[in-house]
A and B are shown apart, each in its own frame.
Chain A
């Protein structure tokens, strides 16, 4: 299976560990990653400013995939929603498709709409399959109970055809189980990381993050696993500040699903960018010899 990696903004400019672990793990599961020139922001971070701009930006990225006739791997839930929504609008509204294509033509592009979109979770769970994952596991991970955090935009709105169930997502838990990692339910599972408020309400944004970290910590989880660069930025990169903002001393190891997969596949932790996680991931005892 060949997929073009649509990087979005945050992963390739800051959340390098996500990109490293994706590039390390997917080829082991039969996915060839292709890099295409010309991608830009999906437009979703600017949706509050101008929705037309968001639609145009998403459409131009989709049309780059159309030009190459290739499906897209979109690891950021926010980008995944923006691109899905653009497809939904353009495929359902011929008038709008014409208007947008008139703009895209100025860049020599055209939206056709043939490309399929994958996030990491549905790609691994639905396309690659859990049997393949189990076959690739080379290392017994310690007995862990990790809190799964999906990220809002991969869950909702279901109207836009999200890759997982909006109210009872199970795919990440199933992937974790095939790696030998438990993931119990918790009441706050579907809650937001607070990230979208960072541009204009930074303190509240951090308080939101802190509250969820505290909940995860109080319920005895060993750590948190996620698949969103924005959520990782909040729960991992900003963990100390977030915990302080709610007067807690949360000490929660946070890592990407693809990092955990890579470790279970026996990939060296340096190649998975584990040193870029600022939360106490060493506490998980994940390193060590491949059996």
Chain B
């Protein structure tokens, strides 16, 4: 009421004259009409103040990630989620980029010499490596070094034989219980699909392998556990396994901790997505073909519709010929 009155007063002298009796009647409650009053009551002021408020709340929320003046309560500590891994520039990152196969080859060596002591790689067979990181002859020789149980033979007995291309990677433990017993109750997960199975994928596993540090003050880690800020909860059963110079690369690459981590993660990424390189090539072909087809179909549509869209219809009234 007040504002509308004031607004009206300010807006038009004609209106003001008419509303004089009203103003007199409400003299005790309505204040005198000053320029300041009309500024305060103007719609423009209202709109801009609302805009400023909404804008600064939005800006604050964008900057700090939470609404101002509203305290947030979490049942968990942020460290329970694990540190988010930084984004690393992998050679296979781009839409058209393949894996770096020299890195896959080195990564296999790291897996074989380090990780294979605890982690299985169930879904990869020897033959999968042929033409990816090794030649057939190399793989045959590597498979033959390992004894597999096969059978039963004619007498119904199981027997040992050297591995062949079709065999899958040997597991370090015969079963889950043995794996847990050998690792203080923690189960080393199978690594075949680990890159797909963890948030952050390759970046996470790289960070995990290179991220071991001393626990910060106040964080207690049980005996046999290790502190790693990237692992959700912070306490991981796997100790730091990669140290500078642990393996010797045949291609002369210096085997630093981060180099080995990069290579083994590349290898595990390939293991999780062996179709990766071919998939990107097919994707390129599909995009080229489908966009060409789209352009052609748009052209054909316009071509066919041109006469219909541009025609003019005239009504020619029949001439009465009887007169």
Same assembly: no
Query: What residues make up the interface of A, taking CB atoms closer than 8 Å to B?
Result: none
Query: What residues make up the interface of B, taking CB atoms closer than 8 Å to A?
Result: none
